Each structure stands twice: as C-alpha cells, then as structure tokens.
Amino acid sequence: MGALEGVRVLDLSRVLAGPLATQMLADLGADVVKVEAPWGDDTRKWGPPFIDGDAAYYHACNRGKRSILLDIKSESGRHTLRQLIAHADVIVENFKAGTLERMGLMTDISDDKILCRITGYGQTGPRAEEPGYDLALQAMTGIMSVTGQADGEPAKVGVAWIDVLTGMMASNGIMVALFHRERTGEGQTIDLSLYDVALMAMVNQAQNWIASGENPGRMGHAHPNIVPYQAFMASDEWFILACGNDAQFANVCVATGATSLQRDELSNNSGRLEARTEIVETLSQIFTQNTAEHWIAEFNKVGVPSVPIQSVSQAFTDSQAESRNALWRWGDQESVANALRFMTRTPATSSTPPPKLGEHTEEIIRDWLGHA
C-alpha cells in the first residue's frame, strides 16, 4: 500500500512544476485527477519526440494520474469543478496569482483542504502578476550569472532546473500539510513560487555573497570554494576530478606525480584556493599525458572521486543505473523512476503510464462524485 493511498489530489496545474509535484504524490499512492481543458496540457504538443501521440515532455511528469476533460470557463464546467474540489483533499494549481479569486472558487475550498498555489513570483509582491517561466527565473535569481565559462555569455542549466526543484518543494510542502492535518484536522494554503525556490537553491553561492559582499561569477565547471574540483581534459576526452578534502589532495599529488604541489601551504583548502591557477595549470599539463580512463582508474585506486562525463544515454545504460532500475516500464513504454523507490515500508511504485486526454472523465465522475 502506498503511503498516500486514499488521498485525493485535484491537479489543476500544467507544464512542469505542478505536474511533477502531483506525479510524485501519485507514485506514493495518491489518487491524482488531472483536470484538462479541451485542448489539453500544453506539453502534450511540446514535441517531437512523441510517445503514443503525446510529447515525451508530457510523459515525463504525468504518470499515475487520471485525466478528466473540463472546460472551466463554462458554467457547467465550473459546477463540476466545484464538486471535484469538495471531494478532494489536496488542490494543486499554477494559474496566475488571483485567478481562483477571480473565478469565484476560493469560497469552495474549505478550511480542511490543502491548497498548493504555484506561481512565478508568489501571491504577493510587485511581480506577483507576472507569468513565471524557468528561463526567466534563472535570469532573475542569479543562477545564470554563475553558470557558464568565465569569459563567455550567460548560460542556463540544461534542464528546467527551477521548475523541477519547485515541483519537489511542492510535494514536500503538501506532505507536511497532510501530516499537520492528520494531527489537527486543519488544512492550509501553500504559497509557493519559482522565484523563492530559486533564491533558496543558490545556497553556498548566495551565502558567499552574504559573507563577503562580493558577487560570485561564472567559473565554468570549477567550484568557488574547493580546488581541484572541476573537469579536466585528458589526452582523449574530458573527465571530472572532485577533490573535496586535504587527504584527497595529497592522494591527487601521489597519483599524478605532481611533486611541485606537495607543499605545506597547499595542504589546506584556503592555501589551495590562493594557488588555484597554479594547481589547475600543473594538473592540466599532466592529464594530457594519458587517457581519461587511465586517470579515473588511478584516482579511484586512492579514493579520490573521478568519473567520466556521460551523455544521457550513457547515464541510463550505466551498470549502476541498470542495477537500480532507473527506468520503469509499462509494455513498450518507459519512464524515469522515482528516486524514493527504495523506501523499506512505503516505496514509490510504478503505477500506470500518463493518461490520454480525458481518458477517465466518466470514471472520475462516477468514482469521485458518485454519478452514473
């Protein structure tokens, strides 16, 4: 039995952050009903590639749900939506701030309901009315100022990073709210914005600015607080060396024969940061003398993290990924598995593939509302 079995979630969201949050809840056993307009979630059309008629993007964050077709701009559609709200434990929406109020739906959400409202900038503040898109939020919250090569143009993270983190935070907040309701009977509203999540996720880069007053900048694949901790070019290809402490640095020097770096002033992290240029240049010259595979093996022998830089296909066909069932399968369809699948009592489980548009409309009307 899933941990959230019996919990009814009404998913009014679309695109990524909200659907990812509700997919997480579905993986944990919740009954998630996805409400879609006659044209469906926008991401159904965000292809190619397509899987069984819908874009792969849509398939990434909608498994385990049931879909109901509902035109909430019509009076009959809003009437059915109000009935669904009355039977839901959790409502998730990502309309622009104030939309539920303008539709007159807030009065239908009783005090025992959990309402998760996902927006670009939150329900309050001077930007509350602005739409939120991951790229724009990456620009607004500092991540693009620290991503990319030092002398290059600003770069974004290769996935919709802020949307993904917001989805995870939303599912966390919903589960905390469910736990609180279990103890007190009280529901609550979660005002969650991509903006707040992105600022929170700046972690050490933001804290570095708070402590020093200096803006961090782009450093390519290097680390602002640790060295050597970056990609290096071997004789054939790039690889990663992630040296995280003093003992590991001593082992790097032994494995590479970099005797010039075996000095007292480089035996601590502060000293290495001061000598970043010398360390990187010295190691870079040494690494060109052999293959990435050679250096990775040498560092692994002495306990220093070092790995290849893999493509997406290499990552998912890696023996580690295959041994831990990183992909869930339904017939000829596959989906990236939930990382909570290794919980000992209530693991996330593969349920059903993403629904077709309106596939379960009659079933939901019967199950939730008791109408034939």
Q: Which residues are catalytic?
A: 163
DSSP character at residue 61: S
Q: Which H/E stretch holds residue 143?
A: none
Q: Residue 224's closest CA among 212, 233, 232?
A: 212
Q: Counting beta carbons within 10 angstroms of the beta carbon of residue 87, is it exposed (0 to 12), middle (13 to 18) or buried (19 or more)? A: middle
Residues 6+ apart with CB under 8 A from 175: 4, 25
Query: Residue 370 in 3-state DSSP?
Result: coil
Q: Residue 110's closest CA among 22, 187, 16?
A: 187
* Per-residue tokens: 56: 């792969």
On the CB side of 47, how many CA atoms lie within 13 Å of its CA? 16
Query: Residue 162 in 3-state DSSP?
Result: helix
On the CB side of 341, how many CA atoms lie within 13 Å of its CA? 12
Q: Which H/E stretch holds residue 364?
A: helix 361-369
* Per-residue tokens: 46: 């965000």
Do residues 78 and 72 lie in contact, with contact meaning Cβ atoms separated by under 8 Å? yes
